[in-house]
A and B are shown apart, each in its own frame.
Chain A
Amino acid sequence: MRGSAFIWKRIVFAVVTVFVALTLNFILFRVLPGGPVSQISRVPNASPALKQALTAQFGLDKPLWEQYLLYLQQTLQGNFGVSYMNRQPVFDNLVEAFGNTIPMVATGTILALTLGVVVGVISAVRRGSMTDHLSTNIAVLFYAFPTQFLGMMLLIIFAGALPSAGMNDPFAMGGSGWDSFLDTLKHMILPVTTLALTLYAENALIVRSAMLETLGEDYILTAKAKGVPRRRLIRAHALRNAMLPIVTMVAMSLGAVVTGSIIIEVIFSWPGIGRALYTAVLKRDYPMLQGGFLAITVVVITFNLIADLIYYKLDPRITT
């Protein structure tokens, strides 16, 4: 099959990257100066039994290399240690946090992608027109606003009109499942809007310049000569080819999604992974911090892998 070598290469790369991240994590927290204070067993107010269990699981009394192997083993089994804060396994905390984050970030990202592609394509095909200038400048403006600024402005403007904190109204207990779902949706409006606005801008600018580049290719002229009408020219020829750089660049901007969602969760008190990380920093909850770092890294690496596979699907020229 074409490019099975390519797919394997990317998968191996992803696995190795996860491994690098694991190692980096270990070095940061256990080897570098400052490491000892972040000892995994120093759970405040922990029972001696728990401390002993952690010491045994992670071999904290053993030499560093043995600790490393144990750490790998435990991590792969999903044991990230115990949170200093609520003394629950970090893994369980992470699962819950991710469950809250995904709907919000996914909605925001999909909105941003859709809006970005539409605005970017329109700007590019109407290059130099009023529409282009207007939409490009607006995109630059939103690109330039720091996420926290945009979030706080929305908070101030819509204070009262829309729920501004958390996922659910704490006083609306006892409603039916449907009511609570609607309530969550309402709570999602502001954070999703903030995320979508900050991300759309970058996407629109990326799509615009990728489209402009393809519009200068000779095959566009060929298609035009064949009598391909404008709309089809844009869709079937220009955008189809522009998708290649777009996929790459959108994958590279995944970091911005992560940054944006952390800040947004903090501003809107959304009980997701970003807020968990933030709280972990504030409370010096090192096991949570490690676990969160690993978890986000794995997610980003996975999405990068998906982007690679999409690229492969889109570009028939890839064989190795």
Chain B
Amino acid sequence: MTLSLPGAATPEAETRLGFWPVLNDVLHQPAALAGLAIVTVFVLLGIISPLIEPYSVREATCAVFEPPSWQHWFGCDDGGIDVFSLVLRGGRISMIVGATATLIAIGIGATVGILSGYFGGWVDTVLMRITDYFLVIPQIVLMIVIAAVWGPSLSHVIIVIGALMWTSTARLIRAQVKSLRERVYVKRVEALGASHLHIIIRHILPQIGPLLVANTVLAITVAIFNETALAFLGLSDPTAITWGTIMEHAFDRAAVSSGAWWAIVPAGVAVAVLIMGCYMLGRSIEDGLNPRLKVSYLSLHGWKLRPLVGRGPDAI
């Protein structure tokens, strides 16, 4: 910004750099708080789900497509299995799949991004070319092909999602690291005689930390989406219980034509709520990190006139 309006540069605005200040700042926003609350509740439910599942997830406990009742809050599926229990269990596995695949993707993406952005030159050229190819090839189709050739299994799903989803992270991190690399303080530390490892660990990683967190949270949404999509196409382990397979099962067993919406809605809404939570949290962090969003020259309201006398301690 060439125009630094004092209004934009409040004392607080300048301090928000680095990991904790940003996080602290972000968590004062309602959207981020709501997102964090949702994610926390889901993770807790996932952890304790075996303890609170009211019925078995393998054996029939009620009639086929029994509608919701006091005994079975979310009704029953085509095999007479309690949907509430299924959704709890499915969430646990879906979240494990999503989180593992995300960790793989973020790990690859961050490594590629940091190497590419930090070292530049031929390292950058080679890594970015590879990234570009991965970016252009339609991932879901490749996932379908790989899953079809290797056979359906949960670990394949995790590996395939993880190994194909890292590209956007790599690009984002690369751009960030590349600009950090040009920052004067990084140059200064380099001129001090610090090693690349020292610079990356002490000066680069802490700076991209919040962005990486935001990216991880957002990537989980994509991973869970892809899991449900793969499962829906019958490419996940058919015996595993995930939100994806629950919906696939319901579709397969004609829940739609039987009007048994309760076999679909709980899993679908669960996915939607978790993804909304992740999205709100991730987006808030990312927006908090983007200084360009702090100024807008097109506000709904203009500046105000203050009457000449009689208001406030500073009035004349």
Contact = CB atoms under 8 A, between A and B. Distances in A.
B150 interface: yes
Contacts of B251: 148, 152, 267
Interface residues of A, number: 70
A145 B268 contact: yes
A38 interface: yes
Nearest to B299: A127
Contact of B144 (A149, A212, A213, A281): A281
Interface of A: 13, 17, 20-21, 24-25, 28-29, 32, 34-35, 38, 125-129, 140-141, 143-149, 152-153, 155-156, 159, 209, 212-213, 215-218, 220-221, 224, 230, 233-234, 238, 252, 254-255, 258-259, 262-263, 266-267, 277-278, 280-282, 284, 286, 289-290, 292-293, 296-297, 300-301, 304
Given A143-B275, A300-B138, A148 B229 contact: yes
B145 interface: yes
B228 A148 contact: yes
Interface stretch (B12-20, B184-192, B256-264, B308-316): B256-264
B133 A20 contact: yes
Contact of A258 (B140, B149, B257, B269): B140
B261 A156 contact: yes
Contacts of A141: 272, 276
Contacts of B287: 209
Contacts of B298: 125, 215, 220, 224, 230, 233-234, 238
Contact of A254 (B138, B233, B269): B138
Given A152-B256, A156-B259, A216-B292, A301 B275 contact: no
A200 to B, nearest CB: 15
Contact of A255 (B140, B265, B294): B140
User: Which 10 pairs across A and B sit closest by C-beta, in order of nearness?
Assistant: A149-B268, A216-B295, A144-B275, A144-B272, A259-B140, A220-B297, A144-B276, A221-B297, A215-B296, A258-B138
Nearest to B277: A144
Contact of B297 (A215, A263, A293): A215
Contacts of A146: 225, 228-229, 232, 247, 268, 271-272
Contact of A143 (B144, B151, B232, B279): B279
A32 B149 contact: yes
Contacts of B132: 13, 17
A230 B271 CA distance: 40
